Structure 1
């Protein structure tokens, strides 16, 4: 009975001061919604990146050559030799640069990659029309090209680009295939690019060799042994020079990425949580003002028999109701903003339901914690002193 009466009085007090109550709750609303939004976006982006890595597989090694002295790259033959390392499935060398692509009067700057036929399987790129590049294209330095969907739309509009000729830095190439749409990744857009044979790209770009290539092992269990074997070969090549090359394990990169993303999400949640704390201070300030304004009311209640626990419970419940209502409004705003971000941007979002529960419980805790001081002040008032207050 006492609890129900305290809740009713708390609600009546809040309703009687609608504007002040809303402004008091605003800090909680902003804090809760910020936590939910930031963590949801963080989880969504992490999931998107993890999915991209998973599509490529965890049996990959990416080798980057920085070289030593005058030797800063490997030849195509030296890279191809890595395919003979035990437990290696595929080797995919890449030469990349930016070029100007032109078709009739339309031109655009685009990323160009020189590749081999193994690129299709290793990098999980496929064509939706036409054909992929073949080994014979590299052997005879064919001026054949694969075009991404974004570049194709820029140059050809809705027309089928397969069979058309384009100019790459002034050199004519025939488009033999239109790539499937891949979206964006850590390196940028996968659809705004053109792929040509590796041997052809060496001449077009006047490249002195290969600095990046990807190796796939037969299974995840073989990655460690393949990585060791590659390191031994490169150590002999560069005489054990430090920083002459780097070998990145896709599984290690994925684990590091998850750990970093998790830490970042916690940091963002912590930053947003500060506004929850500030909102709690706002509740405490308003409750102290409320106690001062209602001193006479408290005195009358005590004079007719209300105990300290009754007064204490009344103001703690009022503080809890404020923070709880703010938490509920904040959850609604956070979920709504998360949905809006997913609809209006290219970001992938994942609803952080665990953070919804944590935020609600934390807002409830804030109501209790920051309501104790003003409630204690109200409970300690003496009836005679309170009744003398105007």
Structure 2
């Protein structure tokens, strides 16, 4: 079996909504910063013994001693990787919440600018691979916020830590071997081989085995460089990935049924919400991330980048009886009272819940953190 992104059903990287599968990966627009202390190597005798035992297995798969020495120089056990892997929250956001972030005004605006800035490259990719320029741009936007969040965790340390931990040891040992072969092939130096805490790399967040199978050298410099500030190879690799997984040139991903331009299988991911007619290309996007929400997020963001407006259909009130407009009003009123919700996007996330709890405590109420119609009225 070829290990592709579809097999990588992890909550990848400390990235906003992120979960590579299930809820779909959406990357926070926060700027990249230095590594926290728990993502820096610490002494671990068990890990060291595991690496020593791994070396012969790597050699048997074609990894040279020189590459092993280079790859593991400065590498080590990262406790924060294990903590993140074991404490992934299993939850599902509604499609409405997902799209509020996936196709936010900021992401759409940045996407249109990115499309215009790299128009010649994206047009060339569309010509070569048949994948719409807007679709490639949308994947870039969801995976790394147009390159602003590529991840800075050393991939050798991350994948070897997870392989040693053993919960998915076989999977991550394959990723580690592929990462070492990336170094051996000269595509990147050890210091620049970085990614998410779970090993997803570059502008389009390829795991090492997917990189090995699908990455391309589109700019012709002899290296498949998906990490560079120049996103050319990364965007080309995403296009190649979709193309080789069956993308149909000239076919839309789908459309909202109410748009009047819908053909294909009809789905309604959120009860009471908009319905979508989806094509075979929708399923190809799911090869990148096996989630209906992710595929709709990519397709809808691509449409918005291309100039389309918001969805026409409406979503029902949430479990608390609040519409998106209500939730935005709640966030705005809390923030105006000094209880920072971290923004007013209508998504009730941890920051909003913290603000609600603080407000409730200030009023002598039980600090549940739950929104409600009554809370909105009290504000």
Q: State the TM-score bracket (shorter-chain normalisation).
A: under 0.3
Query: Which is higher, the Rg of structure 1 or of structure 2?
Result: 1
TM-score normalised per structure 1: 0.21
Bigger fraction of residues in strand:
1
By relative contact order (CA 8 Å, sep 6+), the higher-ranking structure is: 1
* TM-score, normalised via structure 2 length: 0.22
Name the one with the larger helix percent: 1
